[in-house]
Amino acid sequence: SQQGEEDPQALSIQEGENATMNCSYKTSINNLQWYRQNSGRGLVHLILIRSNEREKHSGRLRVTLDTSKKSSSLLITASRAADTASYFCATGRQGGKLIFGQGTELSVKP
């Protein structure tokens, strides 16, 4: 399979709680990216972390990267109902190739 793996496959939380999604991959990477997809829409880029970085923040998003374990996590703090969507990690590889994981379906209940 060309994809990495994400867990959990689905996550349901209450508004205000934090949501954590994990991503594992198998090959060497230049960067790891997280995207969001609302139902029936295209993917939207959230954040990119380079292979030599360990942590990055953007608003309510916090991403970590552990290249020794080939894993990354996305934390969304103080979640809102509008955060309900599917979240995908993608590994940026040599030559600009971008491979996506299977995604985590997040449901935030008001």
Partner 1 sequence: DAGVIQSPRHEVTEMGQEVTLRCKPISGHNSLFWYRQTMMRGLELLIYFNNNVPIDDSGMPEDRFSAKMPNASFSTLKIQPSEPRDSAVYFCASSTEGENTEAFFGQGTRLTVV
Residues near partner 1, by CB under 8 A: 2-3, 30-31, 33, 35, 41-45, 48, 50, 88, 90, 92, 94-103
**Shortest approach of partner 1 to residue 14 CB, angstroms?**
27
Q: Amino acid identity of 19?
A: A
| Identity of the residue, 95 or 110, whose beta carbon is nearer to partner 1 in the bound complex | 95
**What would you report as the CA-atom Rg of the chain, rounded to the nearest whole angstrom?**
13
Separation between Cα atoms, residue 107 and residue 110, nearest integer Å:
10
| Identity of the residue, 25 or 35, whose beta carbon is nearer to partner 1 in the bound complex | 35
Three-state DSSP class for 16? coil
